[in-house]
Every structure is written in structure tokens, then in C-alpha cells.
Structure 1
Amino acid sequence: MQRFSKVRRAFGLMLLATLPVAGCTSAQDLGQLLTRPEGNARALPVAQPSRRFSAEAPATLLVIGDSLSDGFGMLLIQRAQARGLHLRVVNRGRNSTGLSRGDFYDWPGNFSQMLAATRPDFTVAHFGSNDMQSIRTAEGTVPFQTEAWDSAYKARASGIVAEAAQAGTLFYMLGPAPDRNTNLNAHLDHINPLLAQAAQENGGIYFPLEPHASGEGFTWVPTTQLGDQTLTIRSGDGSHFTIRGYQMVADLVLDDLVRRFPSLAPAPEQLTFIALQ
């Protein structure tokens, strides 16, 4: 999948700027408002950090995956800085990559090297958008849309999460949002449960984007509603996010991290959270 070049160029101009939303809502409030509970939603339990973070000893967050990861990674850098978090973000998202074509880019192998080099406290990953094809292995090819493909794909994702857990890294597996292309959308809907199982069965966190970027029944939508405001969160190519969309996801992830690890924030952030189903 080709990188949404106009959005990427815009990032360079806006990386250190705030992104105000029209009206009375600021961009810095975007993540917390989207995670505010409604009705009978319950708060998630707070996880205990393995160590305290500070300005002198910040946490490291590694971002891996495809071009959408690259976009999320750039806004995770910007939002962590804007919020003054004790967090260093290392963005290793790579265009046109995924888990299917290890002959093109070997994510399991490269992730092992990244773990050793960066020693991250947290890892955020997005896969799937380039994986609608047969899986290439050293033993041969696993045909797409077969049970063997499902098993092989889940195994690759599971291996990455398990290695992160063994290294003491908390792994966030982002569940892909819908795509405007009908075939790719069906593929992403199909692999979301595989990615969820890979994360949950190996000590990671499955973090679905569907609740925040989907219509009914996993359908593509270009906008989301925030109070009386309609925000455009998906790009014109039907696959990537806009700057505001990448920011939304970045703030949602950072909100969850601060909830689990309060020492990431320079001062307690008064946020209320809902469980992502």
C-alpha cells in the first residue's frame, strides 16, 4: 500500500504544532473525549508499572508495521511531546510491509533486532493492509484464503507478541479499521480475530480501531462524531487516516498507556476510560 504522500508532507509542517478542532474542543482533548464512558460502560482496571517513569528516565515506545503504523508513529511522537509525557517514541513503520511476505521484509527477524537495539517498554503495531496475498515461507507458499493461511498468519503475529512479552515489552496490537475497498475490507474484518487471539494468547493487548473508525457491521466511514462536531478521520485513498485521524488513534493509545502507567504523565491526568470491546 503506497504511503499517503500529501498527508506525510503535512506532518512535517505540523509536527510541533497543536491541532485545534473547530469550536470549543481542543485537539489535546480528542483522545480523552473519545474514551469518555457513556451509559453502563465500565472503567478498565489500572495495570501496575514494572518501574516508574520520569523526565530523567522516560519510557521507550517502539512503533512497527505498515504505512499506517508510520502515520500513527509520527503522531505518537507529536502527541507525546505536546502532552509532556515521559515517553520517547521510536517510529519504525515501513511502507508496503506486512506479515505475509517475509521475503520482501521479514518483520519477525527485524523486530528481534529492533528489540535488542531499542529495548522498548512498549510496542505498538499495525499489520494487515498489505497481507491480502499468499504467505511466503522458507518451506514454500501458503495459499491465501485457506485454513492453513489463517494458522500461519496467526503464528507469525503470535511469535512477535510472544517475543515482546519475553523481553518485558508491553505489546499493543492495533486491530485494523475498515477499508473502502470491498475486498480489502473483507480481509481486514477476517484477520481482526486472528490478531486479537495472537495478542491475547501471548501476553499482549488487542486494541481495535473499529469502535472509533467504523460504521455498523465493519463498514468504512470517513468521519467520526465528537459532540456536535464531525471530524474527517480517513484519507481520500480510503485506506489511510487523515492527520486528525492519526492523532485520534495516537491519543487513544496514549490515554490507555497513561491510565495503566500514571508515571508517564508529568502530573496526574484526570481521564475516565471505557473498555474497548
Structure 2
Amino acid sequence: MVLTQTEELMRASIFLSSILPLLEVMVEEDEKLKNMIKNWNYVVQLEVKGEDLATYFIFSDGKLKVVSGHHSNPTISLIFKDVPQLNESISGKKVIPKIKGIWHIFLLLKVMKLLNSLNILKPEVEVTEEGKKRLKVKLLLYGVTNALEELRKKDEYAQGLLNPVNNKVVQWEIKPDGPNVYANFDKTGIKRNIGVSTERPYLLIEFPNVDIAYQVFSGKINPLQATGSRMINQRGPAEFGLKIAQLMKRIDSILNPK
């Protein structure tokens, strides 16, 4: 699949605004990464030259916060010359962005190690250990539901599906004990939240176990097929459930073009 120029831009935008924030989860879940950053007090930025595309990491007191936008004075900046170069990097190709603050070479190498921890998200990366499988499911669920907000803002296809939707709650639950996510859909956009909504959801998407969720979110099972074959338990309007499945498939096709 060849992405259009608009889809290439969307891919970069989703990566920066929806995927990179998952590093906060990685640091919380991985003791080695947590120990690696425990004494850091730095700001590291990824940006695309000449575009309003940037995300920066604030490392402070052993914590990581990922923020969309430009920082006024980052310790290190990785500056990609254009959107295609960033997307080549996302695809795992070796690219060399311009680096400001390269004299912080040891910090830079460790930041690259942190970024590489997101390789677990790639469809071709298989995990079998139960804890890592649950982590991958959590990351993919959070990432996909984050990306819905970005699609609603910038993607004509998503806007065509969702523009009539207002004041609706969609709940994703993975049995028996999560992770769980819900999203509020209204005229201003989509807001993703962790946990179970206190409101009755307009649509509930329930996975019977982590294994089924793993197969769906890692692209091994088409979400449309999973819904149609009742591998996923869905309660709510079938038509709206189909729209959500179509959007999940679209996110996958943009992030992982085949």
C-alpha cells in the first residue's frame, strides 16, 4: 500500500502525538528503563523541519512526561529534514536526522535505547511471555485510542464517519482484568481515558481475553472480521461498531502500510 502525501503527514502526526506518549507507559512498566532515567533532568525533542510537527520529552526526578509541540530550549533536538525522513525512521530504516546538542552523546545513545523500546509495537515482533503480551496489548490499545483523536481532527475519511456522532461513550474492555479504556466522542473531538466509564457506554467492545486482544491489535486478525465472527463481544449499535472497526483498520493501515 502506497500512502498519499496527506496520509504520510497523518502517519507522522499520529506517531508524534499518539505513539511517542506510550513511552511514559514503557518507563513505568520496565524497571531497567526506569532506572536508566532516574537521575535525568533533560528535555529531548523530535521535530520535522519547517512543519508544525514536534514532540518533546521532559525527564525530571525519575519521571518522563511526553508533550506535543515545540520546546523553547531542549537539551537535544532530533530534527528530521521532512515528513518522509521521519516516516522512514518509523519504518525502521536507518536515517540520520540533524542533531542539536550532539555533544550530549551518552544521553543521545540512551534516548535511542528508550525510543527503540517501542519496537515491541511492530506487528512482526512476537511476544509470548504473558507479562510482555499484556504490555503490548496495553500499548496498542492506548495507541489506537489516542490515534482516534488525531484522525477525528485531520482525516477526511474519519470525519465523514464520525461527524454526526455527539455525546457518545465507547468502552473497550479486556477480560478478566484489563487493560480498559473508554473514549468520549463529542462535537469538539475525542478524549481517551483509562479505566471503565461511570456512564453507560453507547458502544461496548469487549475482548474475552488478552490473547484475542493481542491478535486483533497486532494486526493478525482484521477487527472487522473479529467483530463479524463474534470473537469480540459488542454491545450497542452494530452500525457504529462497524465504524469503529473501520477506523481501527485505517489507523493500522496508516501506521503499518504493507
Please say whether Structure 1 and Structure 2 have the same fold, judged by a TM-score greater than 0.5: no
Point out the structure with the larger helix share.
2
Point out the structure with the larger strand share.
2
TM-score by length of 2: 0.28
TM-score by length of 1: 0.26
Larger RCO of the pair (alpha carbons < 8 Å, separation 6+): 1
